[in-house]
Protein backbone atom coordinates (compact mmCIF):
# COMPACT_ATOMS: atom_id res chain seq x y z
CA UNK A 1 0.00 0.00 0.00
CA UNK A 2 1.14 3.58 -0.53
CA UNK A 3 0.13 7.20 -0.61
CA UNK A 4 0.89 9.41 -3.61
CA UNK A 5 0.60 13.19 -3.88
CA UNK A 6 1.67 15.65 -6.55
CA UNK A 7 1.61 19.38 -7.14
CA UNK A 8 2.25 21.77 -9.99
CA UNK A 9 1.35 25.43 -9.73
CA UNK A 10 2.41 28.90 -8.60
CA UNK A 11 2.98 28.05 -4.92
CA UNK A 12 5.96 26.30 -3.33
CA UNK A 13 5.47 22.58 -3.95
CA UNK A 14 7.31 21.10 -0.97
CA UNK A 15 5.03 22.36 1.85
CA UNK A 16 1.95 21.22 -0.08
CA UNK A 17 3.42 17.80 -0.82
CA UNK A 18 4.63 17.40 2.77
CA UNK A 19 1.15 18.19 4.10
CA UNK A 20 -0.32 15.65 1.68
CA UNK A 21 2.19 12.99 2.75
CA UNK A 22 1.31 13.54 6.40
CA UNK A 23 -2.38 13.09 5.58
CA UNK A 24 -1.62 9.90 3.63
CA UNK A 25 0.84 8.41 6.10
CA UNK A 26 -1.74 5.86 7.27
CA UNK A 27 -1.38 4.30 3.79
CA UNK A 28 2.34 3.75 4.24
CA UNK A 29 4.68 4.54 7.10
CA UNK A 30 7.83 2.51 6.33
CA UNK A 31 9.42 5.26 4.23
CA UNK A 32 8.64 8.42 2.31
CA UNK A 33 10.15 10.64 -0.33
CA UNK A 34 9.73 13.62 -2.61
CA UNK A 35 10.99 14.58 -6.05
CA UNK A 36 11.14 18.29 -6.87
CA UNK A 37 11.83 19.96 -10.22
CA UNK A 38 13.38 23.43 -10.20
CA UNK A 39 15.27 25.15 -13.03
CA UNK A 40 15.22 21.87 -14.99
CA UNK A 41 17.04 20.13 -12.13
CA UNK A 42 15.39 17.16 -10.50
CA UNK A 43 16.16 16.51 -6.84
CA UNK A 44 14.99 13.43 -4.96
CA UNK A 45 14.94 13.12 -1.18
CA UNK A 46 13.81 9.94 0.54
CA UNK A 47 14.06 8.42 3.97
CA UNK A 48 13.24 5.21 5.78
CA UNK A 49 10.72 5.83 8.55
CA UNK A 50 7.85 8.19 9.07
CA UNK A 51 7.28 11.42 7.13
CA UNK A 52 8.65 13.37 10.11
CA UNK A 53 12.03 11.69 9.55
CA UNK A 54 12.05 12.83 5.91
CA UNK A 55 11.10 16.33 7.03
CA UNK A 56 13.94 16.37 9.57
CA UNK A 57 16.48 15.03 7.05
CA UNK A 58 15.90 17.94 4.64
CA UNK A 59 15.99 20.72 7.25
CA UNK A 60 18.16 23.52 5.89
CA UNK A 61 18.04 22.19 2.31
CA UNK A 62 16.75 24.51 -0.42
CA UNK A 63 13.45 22.87 -1.35
CA UNK A 64 12.34 25.62 -3.76
CA UNK A 65 10.21 24.20 -6.58
CA UNK A 66 6.79 24.63 -8.13
CA UNK A 67 6.53 21.03 -9.36
CA UNK A 68 6.85 17.87 -7.31
CA UNK A 69 5.64 14.42 -6.34
CA UNK A 70 5.65 12.61 -3.02
CA UNK A 71 5.19 9.04 -1.85
CA UNK A 72 4.69 7.10 1.38
CA UNK A 73 5.46 3.39 1.36
CA UNK A 74 4.31 0.36 3.23
CA UNK A 75 6.77 -2.34 2.18
CA UNK A 76 5.14 -5.31 0.48
CA UNK A 77 8.24 -6.22 -1.52
CA UNK A 78 11.78 -5.40 -0.44
CA UNK A 79 12.76 -4.27 3.03
CA UNK A 80 12.10 -0.75 4.30
CA UNK A 81 15.23 1.28 3.48
CA UNK A 82 16.30 4.62 2.04
CA UNK A 83 17.19 2.86 -1.21
CA UNK A 84 13.80 1.15 -1.56
CA UNK A 85 11.88 4.33 -0.73
CA UNK A 86 10.17 6.11 -3.61
CA UNK A 87 10.41 8.14 -5.81
CA UNK A 88 13.04 6.25 -7.75
CA UNK A 89 15.36 8.24 -10.01
CA UNK A 90 16.80 7.20 -13.36
CA UNK A 91 20.56 6.83 -13.73
CA UNK A 92 20.61 9.98 -15.85
CA UNK A 93 18.87 11.88 -13.05
CA UNK A 94 16.32 13.26 -15.50
CA UNK A 95 13.34 11.13 -14.46
CA UNK A 96 11.70 10.33 -11.13
CA UNK A 97 8.86 7.86 -10.82
CA UNK A 98 6.68 6.25 -8.20
Q: Which domains does the chain have, with CATH numbers?
A: 3-97 (3.60.20.10)
Q: Is the pLDDT of residue 71 over 90?
A: yes
Please report the pLDDT score of residue 67 as a whole number.
Answer: 98
Q: Specify the pTM.
A: 0.92
Alpha helices per DSSP H over the chain:
13-24, 51-57
Which of 8-17, 44-53, 61-70, 72-81 bottoms out in mean pLDDT, i.e. has the lowest?
Answer: 72-81
Q: Is the pLDDT of residue 77 over 90?
A: no
1 to 22, 30, 77, 94: CA distances (angstroms): 15, 10, 10, 26
Q: Is the pLDDT of residue 85 over 90?
A: yes
Please report the pLDDT score of residue 75 as a whole number.
Answer: 87
* Dihedrals phi, psi of 51, to nearest 5 degrees: -55, -35
Contact assessment for residue 32 and residue 85, using Cβ atoms and an 8 Å cutoff: yes
Amino acid sequence: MCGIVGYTGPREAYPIILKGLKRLEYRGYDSSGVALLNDNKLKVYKKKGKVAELEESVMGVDMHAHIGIGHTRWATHGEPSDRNAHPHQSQSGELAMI
